[in-house]
Amino acid sequence: MARQATQQGDRLAATAARYETVGAAMNALIPAKTPDARVAQITKLAVMAVGGQGGGVLTAWIETLARAQGYEVQATSVAGVAQRTGATIYYIEMTPQTDHQPIFALAPSAGDVDILIAAEMMEVGRAVLRGFVTPDRTTLIGSTHRALAVSEKTVPGDGIANADEVRAAAEIAAQRLILADMEGLAVAQGSVISASLFGALAASEALPFSRDAFEDSIRQSGKGVDASLRAFAEGFKAAHAGVEPVKEISDASAKIVGPQTLVEDWEKLIVRVEALPSSVQSMALAGLQKVVDFQDCAYGSTYLERLDGIIALDAAENDWLLSITAAKYVANAMAYDDIIRVADIKTRQPRFDRIRTEMGAKPDQVMQLTEYFHPRAEEIAGLLPAGLGARIEGQPKTMDRLDRWFGKGRRLRTDSLPAFAMLHVLGGLKSYRLKTRRHAVEVAHLDAWLSRSIDPLATDYALSVELLRCRRLIKGYSDTHARSQTKFDSVMNGAALLKGRPDAAEWVARLRHAALQDPEGKALSGALETVRSFVDPQTH
């Protein structure tokens, strides 16, 4: 066998040598080619934009500009998938007019793009990953704002991509980098991002055209000229700054206004927060604001009483990690999403203002807004007084009837008075909320969760912290809440199997992360199987 393998290797080597000899002879017969200088004169520009950002308009402006300056131009586009799973790539090649007809490519190639314009921060990242941005030639112009992709929104946990990592990669990959909130600059001028990006392109001087020539291209379009020129000027100005610095998030608290008695109640709660350990105060204040907004100051006092009980079990030697974690997740547990909460949020003025801004509605325009509700029988029973709701939940026929009545969903036009009034009344039932079946269920669940979390504290501090963090799994309303509750129960039950192990905290953290990876819970199921395999090997 060894001799046969050696002989086969010798034959392959001989064959390769013959091909090499023939190849060398053929190369000698073909005259060497020098790079065509005309190819180097072709400027290659790619625009990556998602729907509604005016990528087509920007491409048209660039094409108009180049033709007006005596250039041959070709523009193509490859459409992305809808709903932000992919951007449309607009590709432009241009070269000065000559007696010869240029041959242009139809799509960008990795390592062969002079100018890359990305209309969103993750499109900057896509451009870098696809190799369109190279340090030897590419000017990269991008917007730092975010328009979340479907893949980011569907993750049960925090699926938002890290913009800081994209920024760092872009700084390395590009020959020249221009980053700013081009979307914000354009919106402030009543325009769209394509205009501010066009201004940044002009300021970059990556194209050999004057600013006036750029502006003339906008004027020739004849649509929204004044607003587009204003946004162009802002983009031009921002480009000279190069890379916009990361904005610091202000932690200044909003000023509290209202009846004097309520303001005094709030100030008393603030005094109690200031008496807590200093490292706990920031998170406790955020939690207090959340629960008071959810209910009232008396409810905020209950929150602080629960937190005081946790702090009494904690110590400075652990950096108060247990207390900080409890301050966050106890507040989340107390501010659950019920029908009253959902109705309250949907009828708040800031929400209407935000939607009008996102839709670009002008002050003299009427905005029609449809709200979608799909309450289950559990939500309806949960809105009833605690005793009555519990009895109804114990009657399957009655629950089925509630599902038939309400389970088909509702579409409410909150720009109309009847629908808005109904939701406004529902949202105003805060004083009644604490008497409902839903509140009784939530309080019982909160108490059981805290008890299970604190139980191992004496022997495993880290495990108690991780069990408190599991509350992160519960979120949402209706079916979303039911699914998240199921995941929470699965993780907590898995944690019970791990009790007493030195790596219990680590494994609970893994289970929680697995639960946040996919909506279906496939990752969690696999992680639980792993836990069962080493906790009770006889079952596997």
Dist CA 58 CA 44 (whole Å): 15
Helix, strand, or coil (residue 360): coil
Which among 481, 476, 490 has a CA at the least distance from the CA of 521? 490
Q: Going by C-beta distance under 8 Å and a sequence separation of 6 or more, which residues neighbour residue 90?
A: 46, 47, 48, 49, 55, 56, 58, 59, 75, 76, 77
- Domain 41-239 listed as CATH 3.40.920.10: yes
Dist CA 119 CA 107 (whole Å): 18
Helix (H) or strand (E) holding 458: none
Phi and psi based region of residue 131 (left: phi greater than 0; alpha: psi -120 to 50; beta: remaining): left
- H and E: helices and strands count for the chain: 26, 8
E strand intervals along 79-173: 88-96, 115-118, 139-143
Dist CA 275 CA 81 (whole Å): 54
**CB contact at 8 A, 339 and 419:** no
- pLDDT score, position 292: 96
- pLDDT score, position 366: 87
Dist CA 146 CA 185 (whole Å): 14
Which among 139, 134, 138, 146 has a CA at the least distance from the CA of 183? 146
Domain ranges within the chain, ordered by starting residue? 41-239, 262-334, 467-539
Q: Which residues sit opposite 96 in a β-bridge? A: 71
Mean pLDDT, contiguous 10-residue spans, the chain (540 residues): 42 42 45 51 92 85 96 89 65 92 92 94 91 95 85 73 87 94 92 94 95 95 90 94 62 66 93 96 96 96 97 94 97 95 92 84 87 87 95 94 82 89 93 96 97 96 96 88 93 93 95 90 92 70
Give the pair of three-digit tokens for residue 125: 């990242």
Fill in the DSSP letter of residue 243. Answer: B
- pLDDT score, position 223: 82
CA distances from 62 to 73, 181, 183 (A): 9, 21, 19
Phi and psi based region of residue 54 (left: phi greater than 0; alpha: psi -120 to 50; beta: remaining): left
Which residue has tokens 């094409």?
63
Helix, strand, or coil (residue 275): coil
- pLDDT score, position 345: 93
**One-letter amino acid of 479:** D
Give the pair of three-digit tokens for residue 534: 């080493």
Dist CA 467 CA 461 (whole Å): 10
**CB contact at 8 A, 59 and 77:** yes
Fill in the DSSP letter of residue 149. Answer: -
- pLDDT score, position 249: 46
* DSSP string for 438-470: HHHHHHHHHHHHHHHHHTTTTT-HHHHHHHHHG
Which among 398, 382, 375 has a CA at the least distance from the CA of 437? 382
- pLDDT score, position 38: 52
Dist CA 535 CA 527 (whole Å): 12
Q: Which residues sit opposite 446 in a β-bridge? A: none
